[in-house]
């Protein structure tokens, strides 16, 4: 398979986005350049970039690179290309040139020299010459002169790719289509659309932003409407390959349109609305989007969706609008956002960033993009950040009518698991349990049930591998959420969703929200406070249910030490089991306070129960507090680092020192329960020769976690000289 080098050009400040887009297409060796990005691949990769790039201006196939400080060098270099390998005298061609920092600074003159070199070669070899046609020639040659070096390329795109083919009537200051696509990508629209969010542009002009939003959300190739391409008359063109790519793109379009979210464009100008509707019709999207003539206040106030993106390119006084009126317009836009679109994101594209202050909102991110020669800013806002969980809002569940056959398999599995666990749940009085743990690979979720009042369902999505199509994964997630709501017969407010990524350090404990809402749940004879929205974990590790019972059974008459205590659930069990004193240590003040509330909830709020805020690693290295303990629970994270820590903790690397330092605080007949959730953990027993180490992991796996025997590791550790 022949591998070609390609160049994709794009407007300034889109280079990073373009490179990412090309990598997602499967392009090889993608490198950002000052004018776009270079990449490599088979000819199919070049075709795919032409058809699918939303950001590029042109896709070029370099034919020659050579020094060209003089007109003679420029001419002779072009003569070295065998042009008959690329087109015939029966084809028309044209040459476009861009010159920068070169002695040959006149672009038109340089283009004429290349044209002469090509024509002269054909005359000498075939005694005939191809014709010149400036508008849509069969073959478009691109010359780029930079620092006296020439790059001659075949322009595969033929004309700029921002010309999608749907816009014939623009208003007085239209956005180019690829700039609109860049705005939508920077604003996070693909993710919002995948979650079922809506989009509105209340000042849509000729409709470029809503139409590009639909192309993105419906997985429609932006080049699908175009009929003219620069490679169609190229001698090495693979027409069967191109035909197959067009068929695949049309199939993706039909599939994507079925999942198109709500997209609305509004404008107060009837001429703009007529232009937008005409463009919509040419794009083949009539009836799929709403284009309405409405004032700003009406267009925003009538949105009845709880989540979405407002994106707009309001006037900023260069070609549209009276400058004196603009602050009031921006102030009105900010007011409408805060009043009617709480929970939404907003993206405002402006050539005058100072106008953004009139919105009355603080931008969470600001991106620089060029509208022609004008540098502009894209101001991105979250109108109500508390609605977002782990930087991703609750995805919209799919209704039953829109789900695939796989969703039925998930529903059946949930029913089967519930039936299988029901007798055990009733017998053991278990009210908080794991119902499902990625049982079906295509639905990679952990689903936990908490029988609070009312029942709460905590859903965590395991982060998909990089090779999984994110659009398909998102669709399956939305299917799964709909199945969960229906099968478990709960309202959407009872469903809590998060993304479970591999975490390091204190990331697993970082705050994700600020609801401040806690529920009291029961486990055996104990009660605990859980929080479903503000943190990645709820405050109660369900897989340690049996481990906590072991601590309760061992606690009678033993002073108890709880290290890396989190919310203190182990301390509650120890106190319940008869520990005379408990000492609960954690570095987080938030979790220590949570632990105190859990202890008080169970009636253990006396002075015998101490709470110490400390870095457990350093506290142990300093010899603790001088006390000896009859029972110690050591449950460290796999990895931890913090500004409050003197060093990092890597459990695999540091567990021997950690266990030795903890064992030094044991009474002669004391017992340590050592636990961790590092699935690759390997105990270095040969370095713990002074201790008796017994692996009890199997006996601590409750029925609802037996699908995965490596969910945690638990050991009982004693001093060799001691006795139980």
- Taking residues 681-696, report their average pLDDT: 94
**pLDDT one-digit tens code per residue, 271-298:** 999 999 999 999 999 999 999 999 988 8
385: confidence class by pLDDT, cuts 50, 70, 90: very low
CA distances from 700 to 542, 546, 565, 677, 711 (A): 11, 5, 19, 13, 10
pLDDT value of position 605: 85
CA atoms within 13 Å, Cβ hemisphere of 718 = 12
Quick one: angle between helices 107-126 and 71-79, nearest 10?
40
Extract the tokens encoding 249: 């793109």
The residue with greater pLDDT, 391 or 664, is: 664
In Å, the largest CA–CA distance within the chain is 107
724: confidence class by pLDDT, cuts 50, 70, 90: very low
Quick one: angle between helices 405-428 and 470-487, nearest 10?
50
**pLDDT one-digit tens code per residue, 329-352:** 999 998 888 888 888 999 999 988
The residue with greater pLDDT, 197 or 463, is: 197
Please answer whether residues 619 and 649 qualify as being in contact, where contact means their C-beta atoms are separated by less than 8 angstroms: no
Ranges 44-58, 375-389, 452-466: which has the least confidence: 375-389
For residues 313 and 330, what is the distance between their CA atoms, to the nearest angstrom? Answer: 11
400: confidence class by pLDDT, cuts 50, 70, 90: confident
For residues 285 and 279, what is the distance between their CA atoms, to the nearest angstrom? Answer: 9
- Taking residues 657-670, report their average pLDDT: 96
36: confidence class by pLDDT, cuts 50, 70, 90: very high
Percentage of the chain lying above the pLDDT 70 cut: 93
Q: Which of 3, 102, 93 shows the shortest CA–CA distance to 44?
A: 3
pTM above 0.85, yes or no: no
Exposure letters 459-474 (e unless 16+ CB within 10 A, then b): bbbeebeeeeeebebb
305: confidence class by pLDDT, cuts 50, 70, 90: confident
Whether the upstream peptide bond of residue 148 has omega within 30° of 0, thus cis, is: no
Structural element, H or E, at residue 433 = strand 432-437
pLDDT value of position 181: 98
**pLDDT one-digit tens code per residue, 427-484:** 999 999 999 999 998 999 999 999 877 889 999 998 777 677 777 888 889 999 999 9
For residues 170 and 180, what is the distance between their CA atoms, to the nearest angstrom? Answer: 14
**pLDDT one-digit tens code per residue, 610-633:** 999 999 999 999 999 999 999 999
For residues 581 and 49, what is the distance between their CA atoms, to the nearest angstrom? Answer: 68
Q: Which of 199, 181, 236, 220 shows the shortest CA–CA distance to 42?
A: 236
Length of the chain: 724
For residues 439 and 445, what is the distance between their CA atoms, to the nearest angstrom? Answer: 8
Q: Which residue ranges form the domains of the chain, and what is each CATH number? A: 4-155 (3.30.2130.30), 177-218+259-383 (3.40.50.150), 392-509 (3.30.750.80), 541-719 (3.40.50.150)
- Taking residues 339-368, report their average pLDDT: 87
């Amino acid at each position: 398979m022949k591998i070609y080098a390609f160049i994709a050009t794009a407007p300034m400040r889109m280079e990073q986005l373009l490179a990412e887009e090309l990598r997602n297409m499967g392009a090889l060796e993608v490198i950002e350049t000052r004018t776009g990005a270079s990449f490599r691949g088979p000819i199919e990769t070049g075709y795919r970039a032409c058809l699918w790039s939303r950001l590029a201006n042109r896709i070029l196939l370099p034919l020659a690179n050579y020094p060209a400080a003089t007109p003679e060098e420029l001419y002779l270099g072009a003569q070295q290309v065998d042009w008959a390998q690329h087109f015939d005298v029966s084809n028309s061609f044209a040459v476009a040139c861009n010159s920068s920092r070169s002695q040959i600074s006149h672009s038109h003159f340089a283009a004429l020299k290349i044209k002469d070199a090509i024509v002269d070669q054909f005359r000498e070899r075939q005694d005939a010459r191809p014709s010149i046609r400036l508008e849509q020639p069969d073959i478009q040659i691109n010359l780029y002169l930079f620092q006296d070096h020439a790059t001659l390329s075949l322009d595969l795109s033929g004309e700029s790719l921002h010309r999608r083919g749907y816009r014939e009537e623009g208003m007085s200051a239209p956005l180019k289509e690829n700039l609109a696509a860049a705005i939508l990508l920077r604003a996070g629209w693909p993710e919002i659309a995948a979650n079922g969010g809506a989009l509105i542009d209340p000042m849509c002009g000729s409709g470029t932003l809503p139409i590009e939003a639909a192309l993105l959300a419906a997985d429609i190739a932006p080049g699908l409407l175009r009929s003219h391409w620069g490679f169609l008359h190229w001698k090495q063109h693979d027409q069967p390959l191109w035909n197959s790519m067009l068929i695949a793109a049309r199939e993706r379009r039909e599939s994507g349109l079925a999942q198109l979210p709500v997209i609305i464009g509004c404008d107060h100008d009837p001429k703009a609305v007529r232009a937008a509707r005409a463009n919509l019709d040419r794009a083949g999207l009539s009836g799929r989007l709403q284009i309405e003539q409405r004032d700003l206040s009406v267009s925003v106030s009538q949105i009845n969706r709880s989540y979405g993106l407002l994106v707009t390119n309001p006037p900023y006084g260069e070609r549209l609008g009276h400058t004196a009126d603009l602050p009031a317009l921006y102030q009105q836009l900010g007011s409408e956002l805060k009043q009617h679109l709480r929970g939404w994101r907003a993206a405002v594209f402006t050539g005058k960033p100072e106008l953004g202050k009139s919105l009355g909102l603080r931008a969470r991110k600001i991106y620089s993009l060029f509208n022609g020669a004008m540098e502009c800013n894209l101001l991105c806002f979250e109108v109500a950040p508390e609605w977002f969980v782990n930087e991703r809002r609750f995805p919209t569940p799919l209704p039953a009518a829109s789900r695939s056959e796989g969703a039925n398999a998930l529903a059946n599995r949930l029913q089967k698991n519930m039936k299988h666990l029901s007798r055990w749940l009733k017998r053991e009085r278990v009210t908080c349990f794991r119902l499902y743990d990625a049982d079906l690979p295509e639905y990679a979720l952990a689903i936990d049930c908490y029988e609070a009042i009312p029942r709460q369902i905590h859903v965590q999505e395991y982060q998909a591998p990089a090779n999984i199509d994110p659009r398909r994964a998102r669709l399956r997630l939305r299917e799964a959420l709909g199945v969960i709501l229906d099968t478990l017969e709960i309202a959407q407010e009872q469903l809590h969703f998060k993304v479970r990524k591999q975490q390091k350090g204190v990331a697993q404990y970082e705050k994700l929200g600020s609801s401040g809402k806690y529920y009291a749940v029961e486990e055996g004879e104990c009660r605990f406070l859980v929080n479903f929205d503000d943190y990645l974990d709820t405050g109660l590790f369900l897989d340690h249910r049996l481990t906590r019972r072991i601590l309760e059974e061992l606690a009678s008459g033993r002073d108890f030490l709880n290290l890396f205590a989190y919310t203190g659930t182990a301390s509650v069990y120890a106190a319940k089991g008869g520990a005379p004193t408990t000492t609960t240590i954690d570095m987080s003040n938030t979790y220590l306070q949570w632990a105190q509330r859990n202890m008080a909830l169970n009636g253990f709020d006396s002075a015998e129960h101490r709470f110490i805020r400390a870095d457990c690693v350093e506290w142990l290295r300093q010899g603790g507090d001088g006390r000896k303990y009859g029972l110690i629970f050591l449950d460290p994270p796999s990895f931890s680092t913090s500004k409050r820590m003197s060093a990092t903790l890597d459990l695999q690397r540091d567990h021997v020192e950690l266990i030795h330092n903890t064992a030094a605080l044991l009474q002669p007949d004391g017992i340590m329960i050592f636990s961790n959730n590092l699935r690759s953990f390997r105990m270095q027993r040969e370095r713990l020769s002074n201790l008796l180490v017994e692996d009890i992991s199997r006996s601590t796996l409750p029925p609802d976690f037996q699908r995965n025997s490596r969910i945690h590791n638990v050991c009982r550790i004693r001093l060799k000289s001691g006795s139980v």
